[in-house]
């Protein structure tokens, strides 16, 4: 009677499998194979149903006994492991699970490099509030209410009248005010690496939250040459190539005069790198006398330059990233690619 043999074999295998299971996972694997909905017990039950009626009389008790024995062996194994705790016997020779070291976010790392280059040139690292008064973010920077330049920087407004700053130039307003009040002494050499916000439709090249680097210098007799020299030093440091060139084109920003957009290139970079040929990177200019005056600084004595650049854009060209959403998406699988 082959089914009787099968039942006996099943019962024996169940006893061996459950008694030998070293941990909860092994018990569960055995249960699925033997007693699960697609386990061996199901085939045995089907064979029993198909058996001729005269054999069923003998097979019935055998089937029940085998199934019950397997279930008992299962419960015994569970009880045994519950007594020992989940892991079963402790194997002190087993290798520890691998630790995955954390890493610095690519933007944070680039931001720190920027700060290092600027501190080496005698700049101070400063910042201001993210939730900013209209006055500092716009009005003191020559962007009055109803000025069309406001349309270019739509933002999120708080119910108390403050907004999320649209650029780090708001920090210029604050520092000029402090200098005008005599709470800071001129000259100023400051750099901001900070988060800014815009009401933007998010796509591969726009995010509503991004990072700007703002540099500003107020001193006596500052010229565009100082600006170009500072930018060239910064970009040589960040790109790590000595042949970095900058090119200025006239541009309009209400808080500088003259204002420029800056392109960079480094012909020694491989041809597939964006800045192998001219690439637009940042805005800058000589601080508008009215902006200094708004802070209480006399533009007849003091002048200076300022510039602002997007850190994500720089990080994207550095790492060959094509989608800005990687930076704030929080997906570690993306970010780990840039860990080193
Ligand atoms: N704040 C400007 C922007 O966000 C950039 C800028 C900074 C331009 C300083 C000139 C001088 O677009």
**What is the number of the ligand 1 atom nearest to the C-alpha of 260?**
10
Instruction: Give the number of the atom of ligand 1 that is nearest the alpha carbon of residue 152.
Output: 12
Token digits of residue 89: 């016997």
What lies within 8 Å, CB to CB, of 90 at 6+ separation is none
Instruction: Give the binding-site residues of ligand 1, using a 6 Å CB cut-off.
Output: 167, 169, 214, 253, 256, 259, 283-285, 306-308
Distance 280 CA to ligand 1 centre (A): 13
Residues 106, 315: contact at Cβ < 8 Å?
yes
Q: Give how far Cα 197 sits from Cα of 153, 168, 194, 226, 333, Å.
A: 9, 10, 10, 29, 25
Which residue's CA is minimally distant from atom 10 of ligand 1? 284
Are 165 and 132 contacting, i.e. CB atoms less than 8 angstroms apart?
yes
pLDDT tens-place string over residues 91-139: 888 888 888 888 899 999 999 999 999 999 999 999 999 999 999 999 9
174-206 per-position pLDDT tens digit = 999 999 999 999 999 999 999 999 998 999 999
Contact between 107 and 327 under an 8 Å Cβ cutoff? The reply is yes
Count other C-beta atoms under 10 Å from residue 100's C-beta. Answer: 9
144 CA to centre of ligand 1 in angstroms: 16
- Quote the pLDDT of residue 134: 95
- Give CA–CA dist 158/145, Å, rounded: 17
- Ligand 1 atom 7 nearest Cα: 308
- C-alpha of 154 from chain center: 24
Could you tell me the mean pLDDT of each successive run of 10 residues in the chain, 340 residues long? Answer: 88 93 90 93 93 90 93 90 67 84 91 96 97 96 89 90 96 98 97 96 93 98 97 92 95 97 95 92 97 98 97 90 92 85
Ligand 1 site-directed mutation target among 253, 254, 309, most atoms within 8 Å of CB:
253
| Top mutation candidate among 255, 291, 312, 313 for ligand 1, by most atoms within 8 Å of CB | 255
Q: How far is the CA of 307 from the centre of ligand 1 (A)?
A: 6
Domain ranges (residues) in the chain: 2-84, 106-338
What's the maximum distance between 2 C-alpha atoms anywhere in the chain?
A: 116
Q: How high is the pLDDT of residue 317?
A: 87
Q: Whose alpha carbon is nearest atom 6 of ligand 1? A: 308
**215-249 CB burial, b ≥16 within 10 A, e <16:** bbbbeeebeeeebbebbeebbbbbbeeeebebebe
pTM above 0.75?
A: no
Instruction: CATH number for 106-338: choose from 3.90.650.10, 3.30.70.260, 3.30.497.10, 3.30.930.10.
Output: 3.30.930.10
List the structure tokens of 323.
């989608």
pLDDT of res. 85: 61
């Amino acid at each position: 009677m082959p089914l009787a043999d099968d039942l006996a074999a099943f019962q024996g295998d169940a006893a061996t499998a459950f008694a030998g299971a070293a941990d909860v996972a092994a018990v569960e694997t055995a249960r699925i194979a033997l007693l699960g909905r697609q386990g061996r017990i199901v085939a045995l039950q089907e064979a029993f149903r198909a058996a001729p009626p005269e054999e069923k009389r003998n097979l019935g008790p055998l089937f029940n006994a085998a199934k019950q024995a397997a279930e008992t062996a299962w419960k015994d194994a569970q009880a045994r492991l519950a007594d020992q705790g989940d892991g079963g016997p402790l194997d002190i020779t087993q290798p520890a699970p691998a630790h995955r070291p954390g890493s610095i976010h690519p933007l944070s790392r680039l931001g720190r490099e920027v700060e290092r280059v600027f501190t080496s040139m005698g700049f101070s690292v400063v910042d201001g509030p993210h939730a900013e008064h209209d006055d500092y973010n716009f009005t003191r920077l020559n962007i009055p209410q109803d000025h069309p330049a406001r349309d270019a920087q739509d933002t999120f407004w708080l119910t108390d009248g403050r907004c999320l700053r649209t650029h780090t130039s708001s920090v210029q307003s604050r520092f000029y005010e402090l200098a005008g009040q005599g709470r800071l002494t001129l000259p100023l050499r400051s750099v901001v690496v900070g988060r800014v916000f815009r009401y933007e439709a998010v796509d591969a090249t726009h995010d509503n939250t991004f990072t700007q680097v703002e540099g500003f210098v107020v001193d006596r007799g500052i010229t565009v040459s100082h600006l170009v020299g500072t930018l060239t030093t910064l970009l040589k440091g960040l790109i790590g190539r000595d042949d970095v060139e900058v090119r200025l084109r006239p541009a309009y920003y209400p808080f500088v005069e003259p204002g420029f957009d800056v392109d960079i290139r480094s012909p020694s970079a491989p041809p597939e790198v964006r800045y192998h040929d001219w690439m637009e990177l940042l805005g800058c200019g000589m601080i508008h006398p009215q902006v200094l005056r708004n802070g209480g600084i006399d533009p007849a004595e003091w002048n200076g330059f300022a510039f602002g650049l997007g850190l994500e854009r720089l990080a994207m060209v550095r790492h060959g990233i094509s989608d800005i959403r990687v930076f704030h998406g929080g997906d570690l699988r993306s970010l780990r690619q840039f860990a080193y």
